[in-house]
Structure 1
Amino acid sequence: MNVQQAAVCVALVCVIAFAECRFAPPRRQAIAAGDFTAAAHYLDSLIRTLMKEHRIPGIAVAVVHGGRVLFSRCYGSAHAEKNIPLTDETAFMAGSLTKSFTALAVTRLIGQGKVAAGADIRTYIPEFSIRSYGAPAKPITVRHLLTHTSGLMIDYYPRFTGEKQYGDRELLSLLKNEYLCSPPGTAVKYSNIGYKLLGMMVERVTGEPFERHMMRVVLAPVGMKGSYYGSAGGKGNEAAGHDGDRGNKVMPLLDIGDSASSGLFTTLKDLAAFLRFLSVERKRTGLPISGPEAVASVLRNADRSIDTFYDNTNVYSTGWYLDFYRFRGTGNVMSNSGNVNGFSSELAYMPEAKLGMAVLSNSSVGWKADIEITARGLRAFLDAAHGPMTGGEDGDEKKEPARVPPPADLTGRYAAFGIMVDVFSKKDSLYARFKGPAAQLVPQGKGVYAGKVCILFVCFDVSRFTEFDAVRFRFYANRAGKAFLSMEASYGESFFSFPLHRVNKPSAPEAFRRYYGIWELPEDTGYPGVLKLYLPSNRFRVFEKEGWPIMETETWMGKGLLVLEPLSDGLARIAGSGEIISFTDNELRFIGLRFRRKK
């Protein structure tokens, strides 16, 4: 699963639900240009503080600048029960960080003329097809898959339900029965299935197993000699993943059968080598593209015209998010992350500054520390590299100005997967309610509002109840006029956002109401921990509340409500998420999973 999506989603909902306070991170004094010792001291203190706060067994962090490793340290244990020391050669599951390397392999094939970025993926995988609701969708291209603009769902859940591994042919056959979430090229929606298809394409074009091809033409040339794919078998140096929500219980290593999307095992030493590769002009044997050329390709292929988002409000291009992290006075920031099976990872690179950071942790809640370490730690090393930056554009000013709806048009219900926020007006003020008391929205200009909560006669900014430096609510509209609410929170200058789509109350056909009730996965359907990363509950409750068709389930934030938009007698779309659910009298189908009505 993509950790940035999950992190922002969980943390920002906690803003509205009023998360408990925490101790502040170590304060960073001004760092002079060239003082990398001070930057390293600050980063070391930050890591130790966050590691203790989130009870993370082990964290490994590296900082690379201009091809030089400035910081490389490992903290804690590779295995909480065995107390095995963590080293820079300990292997971690990289999760979705894998996609950056898959994208590099595809970029190489495009450069060699063996793959066309604008080609229909069926050019390489003729048997692939998927349904689209309404008008026929235009073809899904290789570029759409690379940039998460294909409209495909996040994954195909049945492949996580048991010991059975779905082969490519079987998976392609099953996908024919599913629906696109959005027309290709119109929205950014994260999709593991998209990168699974890219892996199939690599095998067919090269005639070589994906894992072997990646080891030969990507990992070895960039110096990642200790990295490998889970399906290739372990080397005995793996860290254990830990369930941070269950007392750091050790989680068994799983082969989730998706090398191209999330199957990489890697080490801190290897990620530091990869960051060096990105900043050095020299081409490597077997890889006819230099690091800076690969970076230029990522920036060049970004489709900044996309203005509809489902997971966060950042463009995704060729294996990397752009400007998920934002720093005043700097250029682009590329980043990617992973969260799977008790492991979390984060990788960020600033091309203009030639500065990058890698973070690996062996906890399911490690993402909480990974993101803050990256946001605050990179700022410290950026100051050491170029001097403190107090002026210049921030991340918002670099983006295209948002289309701001008039205040009178902001009220209504906003939804994403598992989240509903109601915005309403009272005595000429706007309020937002998720759970608990509503937050008053105080206008800051350009569609941005601060949140204020009043307890008795004392009012507080909502950020006081969270771990973030600032919290805000941003209203905007895309070119088609659709309204969104972006919930945003920051560590330092880096604002992380999660978009909710405004939805109109749907009109549920009378026949649709027969699907109201409780639906559960059959007992013979496996429900392992890896599936719980995506779908924390094996049951849904479908009902109507105040005229709204609702589906209730457990999410990362606890009990969540999904707004259903009926499309026909037996089909409904999840508002703000895009997935289409199909119903019969006895079966509910959701991304391949078959739920049965509870008697």
Structure 2
Amino acid sequence: MHHPFKKIACLLLSALLMLALLAGCASPPVRPQALVPGEYGYLKEHITWLIRKEMSKNNVQGLSIALVDDQQVVWAEGFGYADTAARLPATADTVYRIGSVSKLFTSTAAMQLVEQGRLDLDAPLATYIPDFSLRSRFSNAKPITLRSIMTHHSGIPSDYAKGMWTRQPQPISSLPALIRDEYAAFPPDTFLSYSNLGMSLLGLAVQNVSGQEFAGYMQQALLSPLGMQHSAFSPGIGSAAPAARAYSGSDEKPEPPLRDMPAGGLNASVNDMSRFIRMILAEGEFNGQRIIKPETVREMLRPQNSSVALDQGFRIGLGWMLDGLGGINIKNVGTVAHHSGATLYHRAQLVVLPQVKLGVIVLSNSNSAQGLVNTISTEALKLAVEIKTGRKQPEKKPILTGEFLSADELKAYEGSYATMAGLGTLTAGPGYLKAELMDRSFRLVPRQDKKLQIQYRLLGLFPIDLGELGHYGVSRVNVSGHELLKASDGEQEVVIGEKVTPVALSAAWQQRLGSYRITNLGDDTQFADEISLRLADGLLLIEYTMREFGNARISQVIRPLSDNEAVTVGLWRGMGETIRVLQENGKEQLSFSGYRLEKAP
């Protein structure tokens, strides 16, 4: 399930790897001289052309979209196939796994209970889950609250990976016992660190307070009142129509069951999801029935983290992302509230514009569709805004690049950085910085505004248009002793990396360098393979290959705290998390997120 900032990494990888950008394609439909308010015919033609072009380019099998104007669904359609073998077309009623968009429903259900006085946003989580505890090395830390969970500022680790995707998942009530020996990653309210585990614990609080099993309560409290007839929280999606199959490229894949249903376990169609959008646009009302109060909707869409310095201006509400960096970039419309979703193979994007009362949901059954669902949802809403209000999106003016930073200023950037996509390095060249990340090299060149612009050349010769990514400016900032890289589009900004420096390595950790295997995988889907600890330029790295994500090779910096504990380094999802050294049957093992790692002979 995607962290929203991960979209920037996806943009980078897409720009570097999708060389099909060079290929020609059919021409778009002719735009009329004037767009008529309320007439969405041209939008449907243009977005249909864009969908088909992008599906072909990205080998996406199926996709569905619904566009909402206030309380009217102005367009709902499917493209490609829900099941390619059966030649079953995707429709507006095809059911997909919506991944982390599920968090919006879990957060809404929690807010219903807040309205009823049964939950308190600012009470400690342990009030509602008495057996919840995390170990902590942070003295005087605030308690973990429901608010900090919904804003991803709780410090709860990103995931408890063991048993998360497995053939027969345990219930969410098992989580407190599973995580009792795990450490908090950060003190609450330090910075935004996305957590599926936190949202699953929020779902457990809902379950405990309601006295009903989570999936059943969600059906009663939200899905049924909204008339979402094809939707349900479930560990899996099933195989009966209208459920979509799952694909990697042209290959059908099994979508494994998920333990963490509150974080990513909703199955839904775009027609059903349009009902949720209509409720949000009507400030909590649907078909004359009050689902949540208007003030609750406004609070959920209000930035909650404006005082958190390390967030550097990135805004989040209660469950909702409120900034557009990373592909959802729509100007002059007020609040842009959104959430993306991803399982192993399904992809989702939901965006609402409360001030202009527009919303869109795009779902796909292909793991190559993340960039596509972002693009389609954004382009559809930009056109819808223009049709409804007459407001065009401002043209992006290129910022002049050249020798706008001195050699010393460029050299100050040099070093290693813990980023959302793993370890990256910056090296100063003549008038530019050479950046290396995930086995790719590109350049950062100075701009007139003193920021750095990303440039990439195919084979080192041919410049590639990076689209949205090419408009971001990268700069340095020091916050509370953290030397950070941040990306900005001129209005919004987000931290993308933290500078890391070597530390002395004890003999115990030096002896642990080498390859590792997971000893307690069981029936879990194996995400990480070819796991190793190695030393590079004085940095201790844990490296692994993500088999289900394009065989991406990830390098994370870890910092030993003692001979028996180390933490992943950086200010990001999955960072600040603890690796413990244990003894099992006379053998040393590393314990991380529930998995046991044993050094290969």
CA distance in 2, matches of 1:457, 1:279: 48
Q: 1:581 — aligned with what?
A: 579
Q: CA deviation at 1:270?
A: 0.7
Q: 2:400 — aligned with what?
A: none
CA distance in 2, matches of 1:545, 1:407: 23
Q: CA deviation at 1:434?
A: 2.9
Q: CA deviation at 1:418?
A: 5.1
Contact 2:283 2:297 in 1 (8 A): no
Q: 1:328 — aligned with what?
A: 331
Contact 2:135 2:183 in 1 (8 A): yes
Alignment of 1:83-98 (within 5 A): 83-98=87-102
Alignment of 1:164-563 (within 5 A): 164-231=168-235, 236-245=240-249, 247-249=250-252, 251-280=253-282, 283-284=285-286, 288-290=290-292, 292-300=294-302, 302-308=304-310, 314-324=314-324, 325-389=328-392, 391=394, 409-416=412-419, 419-427=422-430, 429-434=432-437, 438-446=441-449, 448-452=451-455, 460=463, 463-464=464-465, 466=466, 468=468, 470=470, 472-477=472-477, 479-486=479-486, 499-522=496-519, 525-526=521-522, 528-529=524-525, 531-532=526-527, 537-555=528-546, 556=549, 558-563=552-557
> Which structure has the higher relative contact order (CA within 8 Å, separation 6+)?
1
* AA partner of residue 499 (structure 2): R
Unaligned runs of 5+ in 2: 398-407
Name the SS for the 1:130 alignment partner: coil
Name the SS for the 1:276 alignment partner: helix
CA distance in 2, matches of 1:571, 1:31: 64
1:567 to 561, 565, 571: 561
Report the more deviating stretch, 353-362 or 22-31. Answer: 22-31
Name the SS for the 1:360 alignment partner: strand
Contact 1:33 1:383 in 2 (8 A): no
Q: 1:402 — aligned with what?
A: none
Aligned length: 573
Residues 360-409 of structure 1 show CA distances to partners (whole Å, capped at 9, x for unaligned) of 11112221210111122211111111114255999xxxxxxxxxx97664
Q: 2:162 — aligned with what?
A: 158
Q: CA deviation at 1:313?
A: 8.0
Name the SS for the 1:148 alignment partner: coil
CA distance in 1, matches of 2:434, 2:227: 53
Contact 2:79 2:90 in 1 (8 A): yes
Distance 1:497 1:480, change over 3 A: closer
Q: CA deviation at 1:122?
A: 0.7
Q: 2:139 — aligned with what?
A: 135
* AA partner of residue 561 (structure 2): L
Q: CA deviation at 1:159?
A: 1.1
Normalized against structure 2, the TM-score is what? 0.86
Normalized against structure 1, the TM-score is what? 0.86
CA distance in 2, matches of 1:186, 1:3: 17
Contact 1:521 1:594 in 2 (8 A): yes
CA distance in 1, matches of 2:73, 2:459: 53
Contact 1:31 1:383 in 2 (8 A): no
Name the SS for the 1:594 alignment partner: strand
Name the SS for the 1:296 alignment partner: helix
Q: CA deviation at 1:103?
A: 0.6
Q: CA deviation at 1:142?
A: 0.8
CA distance in 2, matches of 1:421, 1:18: 21
Report the more deviating stretch, 201-210 or 278-287. Answer: 278-287
Residues 227-280 of structure 1 show CA distances to partners (whole Å, capped at 9, x for unaligned) of 1122598593343332324x332x335431332111111111111111111222
Residues 49-91 of structure 1 show CA distances to partners (whole Å, capped at 9, x for unaligned) of 1111122221110111121111111112111111112222221
Distance 1:22 1:485, change over 3 A: farther
Report the more deviating stretch, 21-30 or 559-568. Answer: 21-30
Distance 1:439 1:200, change over 3 A: closer
Contact 2:232 2:267 in 1 (8 A): yes
CA distance in 2, matches of 1:98, 1:21: 32
Report the more deviating stretch, 445-454 or 270-279. Answer: 445-454
CA distance in 2, matches of 1:180, 1:203: 23
Report the more deviating stretch, 255-264 or 587-596. Answer: 255-264
Distance 1:435 1:99, change over 3 A: closer
Distance 1:23 1:371, change over 3 A: farther
Residues 114-158 of structure 1 show CA distances to partners (whole Å, capped at 9, x for unaligned) of 111110001111111111234353210110111111111221111
Report the more deviating stretch, 298-307 or 205-214. Answer: 298-307
Contact 1:31 1:380 in 2 (8 A): no
Contact 2:106 2:262 in 1 (8 A): yes
Contact 2:432 2:446 in 1 (8 A): no
Q: CA deviation at 1:485?
A: 2.2
Distance 1:379 1:454, change over 3 A: closer
CA distance in 2, matches of 1:486, 1:377: 28
CA distance in 1, matches of 2:421, 2:284: 47
2:35 to 28, 32, 44: 32
CA distance in 2, matches of 1:121, 1:79: 42
Name the SS for the 1:139 alignment partner: coil
CA distance in 2, matches of 1:85, 1:18: 26
Name the SS for the 1:303 alignment partner: coil
Q: 2:153 — aligned with what?
A: 149
CA distance in 2, matches of 1:429, 1:130: 45
| Structure 2 residue 109 is matched with structure 1 residue 105 | yes
* AA partner of residue 534 (structure 2): F
CA distance in 2, matches of 1:471, 1:353: 26
Residues 401-424 of structure 1 show CA distances to partners (whole Å, capped at 9, x for unaligned) of xxxx97664322111355222223
Unaligned runs of 5+ in 1: 395-404
Contact 1:279 1:291 in 2 (8 A): no
Q: CA deviation at 1:330?
A: 2.0
Residues 150-199 of structure 1 show CA distances to partners (whole Å, capped at 9, x for unaligned) of 11122111113644533445421221111122111111111111111111
Matched residues, percent identical? 25
Q: CA deviation at 1:439?
A: 3.6
Distance 1:241 1:99, change over 3 A: same
Q: CA deviation at 1:347?
A: 0.5
Q: CA deviation at 1:4?
A: 4.0
Q: CA deviation at 1:459?
A: 7.1
Name the SS for the 2:374 alignment partner: helix
CA distance in 2, matches of 1:286, 1:128: 39
CA distance in 2, matches of 1:269, 1:18: 31
* AA partner of residue 526 (structure 1): G
Contact 2:215 2:234 in 1 (8 A): no
